[in-house]
Amino acid sequence: MLRVLAIWLVSRGLVALGTAFGGVYIPYGQGDWNPGPAWYDRLLRWDSEWYNIIAAQGYSYNGDPNVTQSVVFYPLFPLLARGLSAATGLATTHALLIVANLAALGAVLLLFRLVRDEFGERVAFLTVALLSFFPASVFLSAGYTEAPVLLLMVGFFVMLRRQQFVAAALLAGLAAATRSSGVMLLPVLVFELWRRREPRLFLRDVVPLALLASAGLWLFMIYLGVAFGRPLLLSEAQAAFQGGTTLPQRIVAALTLQPLLKLTTLTEISPTGLDHWIFLLTIALAVYAWRKLDAAMALFATLVLLLPYLTVAGGPQGLIATTRYNLVSFPLFITGALLLERALWLTPAVIGFGGGLLFFYAALFAQWQWIG
């Protein structure tokens, strides 16, 4: 575990160096929220401001669908930060960072054990390294939901392997209260129940376990209905963040392959061009996962890949958001590790290239120049 910790700490050192570098050499972007003067305060950008508002003040909605508002953000992460702040007296901004970074460390250590038990120690180390030095892994150290939801997702698969379906459903329910990709654990749970249980037991258990696995989502919708009279605000208010496009419009655009027309930027040496290459890479890894991984993991990777494509890519953000969304798709990193195991001589180049991009992306993120 010490070697796993060393890999993780080196990657976080690159994040810290990147934020410091950005503060000196990269112009300040469009952000107008400054949570503090310390270098780690630069890891509170973009959505972190919304999570801080929720943690400090709770949710609000003024009835204007054209204005960006807090109701589109899932509640568990800011609630944890609020609880830590109340218990310790820390500012909610710092509580967000502590929750995220502790969750990230727990996720990396648990992922190593999960992969080692099935594929061996070498693949486990490679998986941790690929995840740690993945360019978008800056969000595992930022005030974002990626770290806590990744921890819950890895824990979910640990429970699935042990066929402890109640515990798995509970973790899925918590993940569904953390971010939208957590909802993708529900079909995986149902699929595994169908595979592992005889028909009579499957029919007995599927409904209560499905309700538990989706509890984070429907409880949040109930809250929105009671507080603001609109339980679907979580989806409806997204239009203000997506250039005024509605969810049906974005889905239609995705199904008609309009986001793929933006792949002309592949020739650009920019975050957008690189993100499009990463999108193509994740597709290839998701396909390969069906050959090398358990069907439940391959299904999960596919669903996590499809979620931002169908719900986000058809809007003005295009495909760039898929890089951050696929950060939590840890089966893709396992698949990459299995491929890299066959050509270990490539490992320094792959990790070095990823680490360079991580440094670059951290610098851009810290200066409000890249949203991921």
Q: Is residue 268 over pLDDT 80?
A: no
Considering only 79-93, 167-181, 271-285, 348-362, which range has the smallest mean pLDDT?
271-285
176 with 185: CB under 8 angstroms?
Answer: yes
C-alpha count within 13 angstroms, C-beta hemisphere, residue 344: 5
Q: Is the pLDDT of residue 42 over 80?
A: yes
Q: What 8-state DSSP symbol labels residue 239?
A: G
**Residues 10 and 17 sit within 8 Å (Cβ to Cβ):** no
| 178, amino acid identity | T
Phi-psi region of 179 (alpha: psi -120 to 50; beta: other; left: phi over 0): beta
Angle at 27 between CA 30 and CA 262, to 5 degrees: 60
Cα separation, 304 vs 53, whole angstroms: 27
Task: For residue 53, count other CB atoms closer than 10 A to its CB.
Answer: 18
Asked whether residue 255 carries a pLDDT value surpassing 80, the answer given is yes
Percent pLDDT > 90 in the chain is 81
Question: Does the CA dihedral 272-242-175-214 come out positive or negative?
Answer: negative
**163: confidence class by pLDDT, cuts 50, 70, 90:** very high
- Cα torsion for 141, 154, 85, 366, to the nearest 10°? 20
- Contact between 241 and 96 (Cβ < 8 Å): no
| Per-residue pLDDT tens over the stretch 95-121 | 999 999 999 999 999 999 999 999 999
Write down the pLDDT at residue 34: 87
- Measured CA to CA, the distance from residue 353 to residue 351 in angstroms comes to 5
Cβ count within 10 A of residue 304: 26
pLDDT (average), residues 209-226: 97
The residue with greater pLDDT, 321 or 92, is 92
Q: Which residues contact 319 (CB under 8 A, 6 or more apart)?
A: 259, 262, 263, 275, 276, 279, 309, 313
Q: Against a cut of 0.75, is the pTM above it? A: yes
pLDDT at 370 (0 to 100): 86
CA distance 280 to 56: 39
Name the average pLDDT for the chain.
94
DSSP symbol at 142: S
Q: How far apart are CA 90 and CA 103, in angstroms?
A: 18
pLDDT digits (tens, 9 = 90+) for 313-370: 888 888 877 889 999 999 999 999 999 999 999 999 999 999 999 999 999 999 999 8
Burial of 131 (0-12, 13-18, 19+ CB in 10 A): buried
Q: What is the rounded CA–CA span in Å between residue 331 and residue 338?
A: 11
Quickly state the pLDDT bin for 266 (edges 50, 70, 90).
Answer: low
Q: What residue type is 38 in one-letter code?
A: A
The dihedral through the CA atoms of 68, 260, 370, 148 has a sign that is positive
Token pair in block for residue 85: 């702040």
Which SS3 state, helix, strand or coil, does residue 369 take? coil
List C-alpha distances in Å: 167 to 150, 163, 267, 288, 334. Answer: 16, 9, 46, 29, 23
Helices then strands, each counted (H, E), the chain: 17, 0
79: pLDDT confidence band, cut at 50, 70 and 90?
Answer: very high
